[in-house]
Amino acid sequence: MSYKAHHERSIQDPDGFWGEQAQLIHWEKPYQSVLNYANPPFAKWFEGGLTNLCYNAIDRHLKERANQTALVAVSTETNIEKTYTYQELYEEVNRIAAILKANGVKKGDRVLIYMPMIAEACFAMLACVRIGAIHSVVFGGFASHSLASRIDDAKPKMIITAEAGMRGGKAVPYKPLLDEAITLATSKPEKVLVVNRGLVDYTPIAGRDLDYATERQKHLNDIVPIEWVDSTHPSYILYTSGTTGKPKGVQRDTGGYTVALASTMNHIFCGKPGETMFCTSDIGWVVGHSYIIYAPLIHGMATILYEGTPLRPDAGIWWQLVEKYKVSVMFSAPTAVRVLKKQDPAFLSKYDLSSLRALFLAGEPLDEPTASWIHDAIQKPIVDNYWQTETGWPMLAIQRGVEVMPHKFGSPGVPSFGYNLKLLDDATTAELGPDQKGVIAIEGPLPPGCMQTVWGDDKRFVSTYWETIPGKTIYSTFDWGIKDKDGYFFILGRTDDVINVAGHRLGTREIEESLSSHSNISEVAVVGIEDKLKGQVAIGFAIPKDASNVASLEAELMKTVDQQLGAIARPARVYIVTALPKTRSGKIVRRALQAVAEGRDPGDISTMEDQTVLAQIKQIIEQNPNKS
Residues 190 and 269 in one domain: yes
Whole-number pLDDT of residue 494? 73
Residues 6+ apart with CB under 8 A from 547: 576, 578
- Residue 63 has φ and ψ, to the nearest 5°, of -60, -40
Q: Which residues of 43-81 are buried (b: 16+ CB within 10 A; e: fewer)?
A: bbbbbebbbbbbbbbbbbbeeebeebbbbbbbbbbbeee
Residues 226 and 370 in one domain: yes
Residues 96 and 173 in one domain: yes
Least confident segment among 491-500, 507-516, 579-588: 491-500
Residues 528 and 459 in one domain: no
Distances (CA, A) of 373 to 268, 337, 368, 404: 23, 9, 8, 22
Residue 595 domain-assigned (yes or no) = yes
- 287 confidence band (pLDDT: 50, 70, 90): very high
Residues 166 and 309 in one domain: yes
Residues 465 and 524 in one domain: no
Residues 6+ apart with CB under 8 A from 409: 366, 368, 371, 372, 375, 382, 384
Residues 465 and 513 in one domain: no
Whole-number pLDDT of residue 497? 67
Whole-number pLDDT of residue 243? 46
Expressed as residue numbers, the domain containing 372 is 3-477
Least confident segment among 188-202, 324-338, 523-537: 523-537
- 540 confidence band (pLDDT: 50, 70, 90): very high
- CATH number of domain containing 569: 3.30.300.30
Q: What are the counts of helices (DSSP H) followed by strands (DSSP E) for the chain? A: 20, 32
Number of Cβ within 10 Å of residue 223's Cβ equals 11
Quick one: DSSP state of residue 83?
E
| Stronger pLDDT, 139 or 32, i.e. the higher one | 32
Cβ atoms of residues 416 and 397 within 8 Å = yes
Model pLDDT for residues 14-73, shown as the tens digit of each residue: 999 999 999 999 999 999 999 999 999 999 999 999 999 999 999 999 999 999 999 999
- With vertex at residue 141, the alpha carbon angle to CA 135 and CA 145, rounded to the nearest 5 degrees, is 80
H helices within 474-627, ranges in order?
A: 508-516, 553-565, 590-597, 613-623
Model pLDDT for residues 418-437, shown as the tens digit of each residue: 999 999 998 889 999 999 99
Distances (CA, A) of 127 to 104, 117, 135, 293, 545: 14, 16, 9, 12, 46
pLDDT at 495 > cutoff 90: no
pLDDT at 386 > cutoff 50: yes
Residues 169 and 244 in one domain: yes
Residue 482 domain-assigned (yes or no) = no
Residues 415 and 530 in one domain: no
* β-bridge partners, 306: 74
- With vertex at residue 522, the alpha carbon angle to CA 521 and CA 523, rounded to the nearest 5 degrees, is 100
Q: Mind giving me the DSSP string for 270-325?
A: ---TTSEEEE-S-TTSHHHIIIIIIHHHHTT-EEEEEES-TTSS-TTHHHHHHHHH
Model pLDDT for residues 213-264, shown as the tens digit of each residue: 999 999 999 999 999 999 999 999 999 865 445 778 999 999 999 999 999 9
Cβ atoms of residues 348 and 320 within 8 Å = no
- The number of folded domains in the chain is 2
Residue 316 domain-assigned (yes or no) = yes
Residue 602 domain-assigned (yes or no) = yes
CB burial of residue 427 (10 Å; 0-12, 13-18, 19+) = exposed
- CATH number of domain containing 71: 3.40.50.12780
Mean pLDDT taken over the chain: 93
48 vs 199: CA distance, rounded Å: 47
533 vs 535: CA distance, rounded Å: 6
Cβ atoms of residues 200 and 173 within 8 Å = yes
What 3 state SS string does 54-77 have?
HHHHCHHHHHHHCCCEEEEEEECC
- 586 confidence band (pLDDT: 50, 70, 90): confident
Residue 488 domain-assigned (yes or no) = no
* β-bridge partners, 551: none
Radius of gyration of the chain (CA): 24
Question: H-helix or E-strand containing 229?
Answer: strand 229-230
Residue 497 domain-assigned (yes or no) = no
Residues 205 and 328 in one domain: yes
pTM above 0.75, yes or no: yes
Residues 389 and 513 in one domain: no
237 vs 454: CA distance, rounded Å: 9
Residue 215 domain-assigned (yes or no) = yes
Residues 273 and 355 in one domain: yes
**3 state DSSP class of 405:** coil
124 vs 140: CA distance, rounded Å: 15
pLDDT at 485 > cutoff 80: yes
Whole-number pLDDT of residue 320? 97
Residue 496 domain-assigned (yes or no) = no
